Structure 1
Amino acid sequence: MLQKIESVQQFEELSKEKSRFFFMKHSLTCPISGNAFEEYQKFLNSHEEVGYYLAVQESRELSNHIAEKFGIKHESPQAFLFIDGKPGWTASHWSITEKALNEL
């Protein structure tokens, strides 16, 4: 299951509520991002997990906030596993696969 996060406030609330969650920065126009998003969805569906995401074109402020707050260069697509409010794992582009996510 996917839940779209669109604001810095929503993201900060999510970080406080969940000690562990998956998050993805997704581009609506990039075919590589489309492929990575499909892999992300397959992983979530097979684990009955809720995954969170943002659409970069619609939530630029939030995308920049994540990059600046955690000192991680922005890429799209980009996936994270947040643990205790910090990125415990991150990957981008073709490294975002169902197999890679299953190994976490």
Structure 2
Amino acid sequence: MKRFHGKEDFNLAFQGSDQLLVLKHSSTCPISQVAYEEYESFANEHEQLPLYYLIVQEDRPLSNYIAETFKVKHESPQALLFKNGELAWHASHWDITYDSLTKAINK
């Protein structure tokens, strides 16, 4: 699991992967902390997948860029799965679980 530090990081990962999973994480929200822990647990068992996160408070421009580019309402926490250059799935808040991430990847 790697952290994005700007649009350039995101664009490099996005262009270099057929599949990319991203978590928008709020460092001040307890719901986001639970989602982060679920995402981290998933990441620890799926190290072969390109898994990234960003901290919304520290990288709002990237968070906004993703929302605008892929026409998905910003939420935090929010998990987004990109496949073949398109947004294939997204979930927010309590819907971000190990099981929901597994189902999304396996679709």
Compute the displacement of 1:47 (Å): 2.1
Q: Distance in 1 between matches of 2:102 and 2:11?
A: 26
- Of 43-52 and 94-103, deviating more is 43-52
Deviations 1:14-57 (A, max 9, x none): 11101101101000000000000000011111222341010000
Q: Distance in 2 between matches of 1:15 and 1:47?
A: 18
Aligned match of 2:26: 27
TM, length-normalised to structure 1: 0.94
Corresponding residue pairs, total: 103
Compute the displacement of 1:95 (Å): 0.1
Q: Distance in 2 between matches of 1:57 and 1:96?
A: 19
The within-5 A match list for 1:31-46 is 31-46=30-45
Any idea what SS the aligned residue of 1:33 has?
A: helix
The within-5 A match list for 1:1-104 is 2-48=1-47, 49-104=49-104
Q: Is contact 1:39-1:97 (8 Å) kept?
A: yes
In the TM superposition, structure 1's runs of 4+ consecutive aligned residues that sit over 4 Å from their partners are none
TM, length-normalised to structure 2: 0.92
Amino-acid identity (%): 48
Any idea what SS the aligned residue of 1:38 has?
A: helix
Q: Is contact 1:44-1:50 (8 Å) kept?
A: no
Query: Over the residues paired in the alignment, what is the CA RMSD in angstroms?
Result: 0.9
